[in-house]
Amino acid sequence: MNSAPLHGLTILELGHSVAAPYAGLILAELGARVIKVENPATGDYARGWGPPFLDEDATAFHALNRGKESVTVDFADPEQLAMLRRLIQSSDAVLQNLRPGLLGKFGIDVAEVRAEKPELIWCDIGAFGKDGPLSRKPGYDPLAQASSGIMSVTGEEDRPPVRVGVSLVDMGSGMWTVIGLLSALVERQRSGQGAHVATSLFETGLAWMTIPLAAHAVSGEVRKPHGSGLAEIVPYQAFQASDGWVMIAAGNDKLFGKLCEAIPGLAGIGADARFKLNRDRVILRTELVPQIAEAIRPMTMAEVGEALDRAQVPNCPLLRIDQVWSHPQTEAVGILAEAGNHKWVGLPFSIDDRRPTSGGIAPTLGAHDQQIRQEFS
């Protein structure tokens, strides 16, 4: 199979920051032509999200916009707005995460655009959804993490709120958009009709909260944060060794027994009938976890890892970013793709043992203005 299966498709990205650009990145890596529309005065806000910077643009921008073309459009200029309309009509799909009402202010209406081109796939990425009391609020990843409950189960109990350290809601919204777009492409092959795909940061946050919300629906339970742990499984968290931290995931009763056999000093709790079943270990978390922590604390990370590997108990050290970057497993999976004399994180999947990649670099602001204006004049 071709590792660039979307070759021949043209995607128009009316996006900034993370969500729409990440969707655009995925599509570009899969072989689509992605034309990124930017404000001529400011460009994508992410261009300024630094330091660090590379060639005057933030590395965050480079990470999210490789393999795209950049054209600047002043929506207030009638000629440029007319060109934008032609761009829309010439595209297979549009991605947009502009602030609510902005496109309508300049006379671009989704229903009208789709009526003019029924096969167009239009993808909206909003903040809180199109309806409801929060629908007109602007949104960013931390607001979605806060309002969807993610921050309420992240961090440690009785400590200040903590957001997940990466923009998982933004990037997740981009992923859902691509899933919806690809589904619409399959339907378009059958019917010839496009679709209006819509998601929001809030909906993505709720999707990531599927299990805690289900627990509340069934039992009324309001989940609290467990640090590196998990509400449903014990022990399933990071433990401090003498020289660092080790994540241990004893995900079932058999693995718990193996853990107790592998770590000196845990034979007693392994034989304690009160801890035999996970449902009981969850209830007795505050009694059990400190005993495991005490047994592991004198050991080095290597000693813990070797003991648990021999026992086939899932574990791994907690790695810093620099350690992840240089780890032999990162190298082995081949996810770091080189583009523009630098390495970047590629897509986390392969097709027939080939990782899809455009091989392109992020465009400078307006890099393709002349080419695109001539093409769509």
pLDDT tens-digit series, residues 261-313: 999 999 999 999 999 999 999 999 999 999 999 999 999 999 999 999 999 99
Give the closest residue to 23 by CA, choosing from 121, 118, 110, 106.
Answer: 121
Pairing of strands 236-241, 244-249: antiparallel
3-state DSSP of 269-312: HHHCHHHCCHHHHHHCHHHHHHHHHHHHCCCCHHHHHHHHHHHC
Residues 202 and 261 in one domain: no
Within-domain flag for 231: no
Tokens of 206: 């709720």
Tokens of 188: 């378009």
Question: Which whole number is the average pLDDT over 240-246?
Answer: 98
pLDDT tens-digit series, residues 124-133: 999 999 899 9
Rounded Cα–Cα distance for residues 199 and 119 (Å): 20
Question: Which whole number is the average pLDDT over 52-77?
Answer: 97
Counted domains in the chain? 2
- The pLDDT score that the predictor gives to residue 3 is 67
Residues 246 and 284 in one domain: yes
Long-range contacts of 340-348 (CB under 8 A, 24+ apart): 340/62, 342/54, 342/62, 344/62, 344/63, 344/66, 345/63, 346/29, 347/26, 347/29, 347/30
Residues 275 and 145 in one domain: no
Mean pLDDT, rounded, of the chain: 96
Q: Domain residues for 296?
A: 236-319
- The pLDDT score that the predictor gives to residue 9 is 98
Report whether pLDDT(1) > 60: no
CATH number at residue 15: 3.40.50.10540
- The pLDDT score that the predictor gives to residue 136 is 85
Residues 311 and 371 in one domain: no
Q: Which residue has tokens 């393999």? A: 67
CATH number at residue 270: 3.30.1540.10
- The pLDDT score that the predictor gives to residue 2 is 60
pTM for this predicted structure: 0.94
Residues 114 and 175 in one domain: yes
- Helical residues (DSSP H) of 19-109, grouped into ranges: 19-29, 59-64, 78-89, 102-105
Residues 106 and 142 in one domain: yes
